[in-house]
Structure 1
Amino acid sequence: MKIVAVRVTPIAIKDPPLLNAAGVHEPFGLRSIIEVEGADGQIGLGETYGDAPVLDLLLKTRGSLVGLSPFDVNGLWARVLAQAPAVQAAGSVEMELAPGSLGSNLVNSAFSAFEVAFLDLQARTLGIPLVELLGGAVRDKVAYSAYLFYKWDASVDSEYAPDPYGEAVNPQQIVQQARQMIDQYGFESIKLKAGVFDPMEEADAVLALKAAFPKHQLRIDPNSNWSLATSLRVAEKLAGCLEYYEDPTPTLEGMAQLHRATGLPLATNMVVTNWAELRRSVELNAVQILLSDHHYWGGLRATQALARTCSTFGLGLSMHSNSHLGISLMAMTHLAASVHHLSYACDTHYPWQSDEILVGGKVPITGGCVHLTDKPGLGVELDRDKLAELNEAYQRCRIRTRNDVAQMQRFRPDWQQVKPRF
């Protein structure tokens, strides 16, 4: 069977004013939706970043995939690579807290989106769930974590759509946010995005979560926005509270020093984003838990190889997330279901996204988990009316590359990104 058409549709999805080390989320997040159509009319789906450099490479590559077999993933890689020089120097705004924006990950990001669609088409053609192409399911459901953010109320600016969570700028409001999310989705782990306010106040929020949810696993992630000295002070204050400590301080060397001083398991999606950094991390014993992400690690099968490597070196494994819709969530779920070495509940921004492009609406999260089905491929179908609606939103919106710093400067003109800030 040959591929007869490849479609790439950029969309803009509503995003709340979530605060982080770089600034604040813009009112829209950008995604690209991939459709790879086979000669029999079956369509494989993929989803990735919608920022200009990634979108440019996707658009430049799509035509060369027509006529290729959806089973020829090596041919896919060659065609993505052939187009990469034309967009490699596209001048993107790089954000370390969003590794998919890094120019060094551009080829992997584009390849991954097409690879998911190729695998989805393969599985649909064979009439099997995608997880079976990955070796079969070792679990029938995948646990995700409540992902908490400090945030402003949507009324801060008319561009933001109303959201159900409201303001969260202190420990009490963070606990309320967690309660709301846990009541709705049943999460059993909690992650707090930090690096925004005074680190001791953020530690107080974790202590408040511990008091409110004593049986839940807790994590904190300041996106490398704390110095080593600050990271040590917070570690002391939160002794015995954390499941793991995520990216508190910059650089592999800084993380290694912190681990030696505290013995705490350190997790990352920032200082290890490729194989060379992983090798250096193992040499330093800098991080003990890798937060993988198929969107920039090079796809589903590359992430399976990463899982085996982590197992070999005694490293824990979970999954990182950026703002995404259900195609990405189901790709993450099929992948995680196929991996023996999955140590922790995965991250997901999905509860923060109100938009969806799938028939039937949002993918259910029950008991903190996404459950696999026996439907072919990823098990989801495109709602073409919603896809068109969100493509129209993309055409109207002012954003073409994510920039949390510039968005914060709209509210605070003197804001500058400083690393580490505290």
Structure 2
Amino acid sequence: MLGMHRRGAGDTVYIAKYIERYRIRINAPVACCHQDVRRYVVERAMKVSDVRITPIAFRDAPVLNASGIHEPYALRTILEVECDNGMVGLGETYGDAAVLSAVRAVAPALAGMSPYDLNSMEAQIRQILTALPAAQAGTELAPGSHPSKQVPNCFSAFEVAFLDLQAKAAGVPLHQLLGGAVRREVPFSAYLFFKYARHIDADYADDPWGEALDPEGIVRQATRMINLYGFESIKLKAGALHPDIECATIRALAQAFPGLPLRIDPNAAWSMETAVRVAGELAGLLQYYEDPVAGLGPMAELHRATGLPLATNMVVTDFDELRQSIAQNAVQIVLSDHHYWGGMRRTQTLAAICDHFGLGLSMHSNSHLGISLMAMAHVAAATPKLSYACDTHYPWVEDDDEVVMGGKVKIEGGCVRVGDEPGLGVSIDRARLERLNGIFERIAIRSRDDVAQMRKYDPAFDPGKPRF
């Protein structure tokens, strides 16, 4: 049998004869002793033959945050890595100019590479990106576009595509490559924003969510979102309006949705004094307190002062920051994000470290589409200790702005289901991809800038922190 054969220069001929003799079809289920043959031939045959990088833009709602307001269009980059056997692996990442430049620079170097050789791929990425001019810092609310995250972000985008290929070649869902699903239903939370009714300069119709600039507006928003998607926890993006309004909003949500876990995220817009005061006013109402103040030291001080569990996607964004946070007991919950932690498997490493040190774990989100959502869902499905429902901006995506075949991924009962389809379980809708690429080519936005957009509404807007 193959396991008894010493592989060498004649392997290809030997295995080809073996396959012909036993009539093994590479893409068909095979018996136990033939699995090694199938796997070996597929691995040996698969080489990257083409990498397609498609920048896209899709409508984004006029939602507020500590740095201003989202622009009318969000940017993403869709990756298609094709092998010489015709299989295609998918990835999705940020669409800012620096990120797009990085993935475009790396793509040609992947030709001829095995999608199983992740170490060589990462080495190529480091070599290529080190030689590029230094990237400019993106918005602080999108850590993956920060220059310090350029290598892990670029690697993650291609790692997802390579793992998608590996799983498709094996005929298994991607979560099986990550150890298998410990849950098939991955919980997400309702992500609420204060928002305007429309963009000041949008070239499309108003979004269906309407204005939300007070507690009543946010409760209406939450009611609609929960009715549509069945979410069983709620996150409020704060740091946009006065803290008194945002506290009143949390109290209104607690009254409207008794028993549902609540979170508030001011994105470090509050002073220590404000953060301590708000903690007292919302005592007993918060599941956790996310990034109320800036920096590991202040977060540790706030935790000592209030005893509240603090979550972050801002001060713990890599393993060195995690080490520092553990030493100070600054953060009790890490909001992971495979886009800038260095991929799906490093997210699993993060999860194991959090479990070892007794830290909670959930997932951070930025504006994204279905490929990213399914990557999040697969790694979350294979993470034994997922402490809290994950964040996602996905409900804010308009139905016809999704690029995966069949339209938007379903969220039911507040969960995304991972099934048994090979790989990520999604494929590209070519017509939609081309339409969104056309929008990207038409508009002037090339990097997210919430501050500049907000100054169209308020020329005196100052994003300096703390704001309150």
TM-score bracket, shorter-length normalisation: over 0.9
Matches within 5 A, 1:291-310: 291-310=335-354
- Please tell me whether residue 368 in structure 1 is matched to residue 421 in structure 2: no
One-letter code aligned to 1:367? G
The structure with the largest alpha-carbon Rg is: 2
Matches within 5 A, 1:253-272: 253-272=297-316
What residue number does 1:347 align with?
391
User: Displacement, 1:79?
Assistant: 1.2
What residue number does 1:387 align with?
433
What residue number does 2:22 align with?
none
What residue number does 2:451 align with?
405
Alpha-carbon distance in 2 for matches of 1:49, 1:254: 29
What residue number does 1:312 align with?
356
Alpha-carbon distance in 1 for matches of 2:132, 2:457: 32
User: Displacement, 1:90?
Assistant: 2.7
One-letter code aligned to 2:355? S
Alpha-carbon distance in 2 for matches of 1:159, 1:148: 24
What residue number does 1:212 align with?
256
Matches within 5 A, 1:94-243: 94-154=138-198, 156-159=200-203, 161-243=205-287
User: Displacement, 1:191?
Assistant: 0.2
User: Displacement, 1:91?
Assistant: 2.3
Whether the 8 Å contact between 1:4 and 1:38 is mirrored in structure 2 is yes
Alpha-carbon distance in 2 for matches of 1:294, 1:87: 23
Alpha-carbon distance in 2 for matches of 1:254, 1:316: 19
User: Displacement, 1:155?
Assistant: 5.6
What residue number does 1:56 align with?
101
Alpha-carbon distance in 2 for matches of 1:286, 1:361: 41
User: Displacement, 1:158?
Assistant: 3.2
1:267-312 Cα distance to aligned partner (Å, 9 max, x none): 0000111111111111110010000000000000000000000011
One-letter code aligned to 2:354? C
**In terms of mean alpha carbon deviation, does 73-82 or 287-296 score higher?**
73-82
One-letter code aligned to 1:369? C
What residue number does 2:16 align with?
none
User: Displacement, 1:398?
Assistant: 0.9
What residue number does 1:7 align with?
52
One-letter code aligned to 2:170? L
What residue number does 1:419 align with?
465
What CA RMSD, in Å, does the superposition of the two structures yield over aligned residues? 0.9
Whether the 8 Å contact between 1:154 and 1:160 is mirrored in structure 2 is no
User: Displacement, 1:416?
Assistant: 2.0
Alpha-carbon distance in 2 for matches of 1:392, 1:87: 27
One-letter code aligned to 1:397? I
Alpha-carbon distance in 2 for matches of 1:317, 1:161: 38
Alpha-carbon distance in 2 for matches of 1:398, 1:146: 31
What is the TM-score normalised by the length of structure 2?
A: 0.89
Alpha-carbon distance in 2 for matches of 1:347, 1:281: 22
One-letter code aligned to 2:322? L
1:10-39 Cα distance to aligned partner (Å, 9 max, x none): 000110111000000000111000001111
Alpha-carbon distance in 2 for matches of 1:234, 1:259: 13
Whether the 8 Å contact between 1:14 and 1:161 is mirrored in structure 2 is no
Tell me, what secondary structure is at the counterpart of 1:154? coil
Whether the 8 Å contact between 1:131 and 1:335 is mirrored in structure 2 is yes
User: Displacement, 1:162?
Assistant: 2.1
One-letter code aligned to 1:31? R
Tell me, what secondary structure is at the counterpart of 1:166? coil
What residue number does 1:23 align with?
68
Alpha-carbon distance in 2 for matches of 1:294, 1:106: 13
Whether the 8 Å contact between 1:17 and 1:160 is mirrored in structure 2 is no
One-letter code aligned to 1:40? N
One-letter code aligned to 2:120? G
One-letter code aligned to 2:198? A
Whether the 8 Å contact between 2:72 and 2:202 is mirrored in structure 1 is no
User: Displacement, 1:365?
Assistant: 0.2
One-letter code aligned to 1:379? G
Tell me, what secondary structure is at the counterpart of 1:393? helix
Pick from 83, 88, 91 the counterpart of residue 46 of structure 1. 91
Pick from 372, 377, 380 the counterpart of residue 333 of structure 1. 377
What residue number does 2:117 align with?
72
What residue number does 1:273 align with?
317
User: Displacement, 1:101?
Assistant: 1.9
Whether the 8 Å contact between 1:15 and 1:160 is mirrored in structure 2 is no
Alpha-carbon distance in 2 for matches of 1:297, 1:114: 13
User: Displacement, 1:95?
Assistant: 2.1
Whether the 8 Å contact between 2:164 and 2:424 is mirrored in structure 1 is yes
One-letter code aligned to 1:356? E
Larger RCO, structure (CA 8 Å, separation 6 or more): 1
User: Displacement, 1:373?
Assistant: 1.1
Alpha-carbon distance in 1 for matches of 2:170, 2:397: 32
Task: Figure out how many residues of one structure are paired with residues of the other and give that number.
Answer: 421
